[in-house]
Each structure stands twice: as C-alpha cells, then as structure tokens.
Chains A and B, each alone.
Chain A
Amino acid sequence: DQQVKQNSPSLSVQEGRISILNCDYTNSMFDYFLWYKKYPAEGPTFLISISSIKDKNEDGRFTVFLNKSAKHLSLHIVPSQPGDSAVYFCAASGAGTYKYIFGTGTRLKVLA
C-alpha cells in the first residue's frame, strides 16, 4: 500500500514557466512533509519542507502548498530553470516517529 504517491512519473516545462509537482498521501497521521531533489549519481538533497500546521511555505523560487483535507501537497517552481532538471521526491513523517515514507519521484525536465 503506497502511503505517499506521486502519480506523474515525468514532467516537461519550458524555461521561465512554472513547474508544478504533485504528491498525495493517505495517512492522516503524517504531520511533516519534505521535498528532495536528486541529480543522477548523487544522493537526494533537501529542498523545502512544510509542517501540517501551515498551508504554504516559500523559499526563493520554491513554494510548497499543503491541502490537509485533500491529503495533497504540491511544489511550485517559478521561474523554472534548466538546472532544476532532476528527480523530485516528496516524503512524509508522523509525529514522534523517526521514519520517512517517500513517493516514487517525478522526473522534471526544464527545456531551454
């Protein structure tokens, strides 16, 4: 049972436009959500996170939105740049746990 789902395996966007990556979860006990970025042959690197007490968190070009009632979060990248081309994973954790559940990833390609 996939508790964290990224239903789009890939996404292509023109440089300068907005990239929207989506993530759905099923476990209502999750209270912290993170996005990681992964380049080929490297480990994932942390990008941005959001706590369940918020519905939005911004960091420069990156914004994460959380809709708790829909159990849905999204990552917006504006404007998209070729260097943003990577695989993006969303992850979720529950209060008091040490475990993270990752989605299957979305490969973003930003076209110059």
Chain B
Amino acid sequence: NAGVTQTPKFQVLKTGQSMTLQCAQDMNHNSMYWYRQDPGMGLRLIYYSASEGTTDKGEVPNGYNVSRLNKREFSLRLESAAPSQTSVYFCASRGTGEETQYFGPGTRLLVL
C-alpha cells in the first residue's frame, strides 16, 4: 500500500517556466489537498478537491491551477513559475467520514 505518492521529489525551474506536480493516492479517498510549506508559515492550503469532479480554492491559490483527473489523482500546475513559489509542496488525501489527512512525502521546488 503506497498511500499518497508525489512526483517529482525535487525540481528546479527558471522564472516563467511551467510545470505540473503529480499526486496519486491508492486509499480510495474522496478528498484531496495541495499545501505549500514555507519557513515560519506552516502549511498553507492552495487548493482542495472534496470529491472527484470538484475543486475549490484554499488560502493561497494565486498562481496555481489544479485538476482532479479521477478519484486517485490530483495535479497542481504552475503556469508561469515565480521565485515566490519556491517552496515544499505537499499533497494529502482524506476518506469520507474521517478527520485525518494522509500526506505524501513532498515535492521541493526551487524557482530561480
């Protein structure tokens, strides 16, 4: 049971480049989340998907888009990366009726 997987583990981008962060879960969870973690800021919610086919903005959605491709997969896209998007990105999932989120190992992104 892999739980929540994220790819890539590490990425370096130049300002203005685009990329997609991938997330998949094998726990049949309905809800999925994208967070970013920055020093002194904790975990901040970027976007979430309460169920397949729905997405909603979190606290810091600007500069990002998401796609809930199916129940398993939830991707995060940066259309034009900026240095302010340098961060560690975590994907999480949660089952219906559960309060606990399960996190992936993270993607470390550096935008130069």
Separation of A104 and B35 alpha carbons in the complex (Å) = 13
Quick one: closest A residue to B33, CB to CB? Answer: A100
B102 touching A46, Cβ below 8 Å: yes
Question: Which of A43, A93, A104, A105 contacts B106, CB < 8 Å?
Answer: A43
A98-B48 in contact given A42-B106, A49-B100 (Cβ < 8 Å): yes
Separation of A14 and B40 alpha carbons in the complex (Å) = 25
Q: In whole Å, how far is B76's beta carbon from the nearest beta carbon of chain A?
A: 15
A46-B50 in contact given A41-B106, A89-B42, A104-B42 (Cβ < 8 Å): no
A43 touching B43, Cβ below 8 Å: no
A45 touching B106, Cβ below 8 Å: no
Separation of A101 and B101 alpha carbons in the complex (Å) = 12
- By a CB distance below 8 angstroms, the chain B residues around A6 are 42
| A82 interface contact, C-beta 8 A | no
A49 touching B99, Cβ below 8 Å: yes
Q: In whole Å, how far is B52's beta carbon from the nearest beta carbon of chain A?
A: 13
Contact with B along A68-104 (1 / 0, CB 8 A): 0000000000000000000001010100001111111
Separation of A99 and B43 alpha carbons in the complex (Å) = 12
| B27 interface contact, C-beta 8 A | no
Question: Which of A9, A32, A102 contacts B43, CB < 8 Å?
Answer: A102
Interface residues of B (CB under 8 A from A): 4, 31, 33, 35, 40-45, 48, 50, 56, 58-59, 90, 92, 94, 99-106
